[in-house]
Amino acid sequence: MYHALTILASLLISSSLSFEQKCFYPDSVQELNIQKLTGTTWYSLLRTIDVASSNTMCERVSNFTETDDGFKVKLRTYTGGLKHVDWISHFNLDRSGVYYEDKKQDDTAMTAAYASGNKDELNKATKNIVENVLMKDGFVFVTDYLNYFTTILCRESGEWMIWTLFPNTTPSLENVVAAYSAMHNMGIFAQLYTIECQAGH
């Protein structure tokens, strides 16, 4: 199934190459219904090639919990093979459909997860990414609660940062098509690349 995912993603990437666009936050994005996500687990298998994901193989996202300000989730960030870092990510709702990472709670944990295994100079770069990108820009989450869970971040530079997660490590073609259709319906055309995730449970 991974090969089918790769072939489909390649075709969809090719169809998107002609669209060079500056990123934007989609209009009319609905707030997440955390109750529908309770008990679900998602694996990141498609993403843009960006500064934040350069040291991670994939991520497992689970344990969605509603909070007073938004929601929190448990992440298992794989940095190579089955090496991983477990941490909790907190998102606070800023405006309709746009969330911000809780800097006070997540700065240190996120830096530790994304810097794991890096050399000193890369650790400094990772800390800069966390503080000046992931802790600064708003996140939009788009999901149909069944096929895909997509994270969209629009950098001030105009660069898309998109990570699409699926309910298992071998998504069906239906899962992938549903994710791409949702992005295209929002007018988002970005190159996404497949990740082979060996994440354990």
What's the CA gap between 122 and 98, in Å, rounded?
Answer: 29
Domain range list for the chain: 2-194
What's the CA gap between 145 and 46, in Å, rounded?
Answer: 17
**pLDDT confidence of residue 68:** 93
**pLDDT confidence of residue 48:** 87
Q: Cα 152 to chain center, whole Å?
A: 7
Structure tokens at 99: 């969330």
What's the CA gap between 89 and 77, in Å, rounded?
Answer: 11
What's the CA gap between 23 and 147, in Å, rounded?
Answer: 24
CA distances for 2 relative to 54, 153, 193, angstroms: 21, 26, 12
End-to-end CA distance of the chain: 19
Cβ atoms of 143 and 55 within 8 Å: the answer is no
**pLDDT confidence of residue 126:** 46
Instruction: For 110-126, write each residue's pLDDT tens digit.
Output: 555 555 555 444 444 44
Question: pTM (2 decimals)?
Answer: 0.79
Query: Regarding the domain with residue range 2-194, which homologous superfamily does it belong to in the CATH classification?
Result: Calycin beta-barrel core domain (2.40.128.20)
**pLDDT confidence of residue 81:** 62
Closest CA to 113 of 128, 130, 99: 130
What DSSP string describes 68-105?
SSEEEEEEEEEEETTEEEEEEEEEEEEETTEEEE-HHH
Please give the chain's pLDDT, 201 residues, in tens: 455 555 455 445 444 444 557 888 887 788 899 999 999 999 999 988 766 566 566 889 999 999 999 999 998 888 766 678 888 888 998 877 888 887 666 545 555 555 555 544 444 444 444 444 444 568 899 999 999 999 998 877 788 889 999 999 999 999 999 999 999 999 988 888 888 777 655
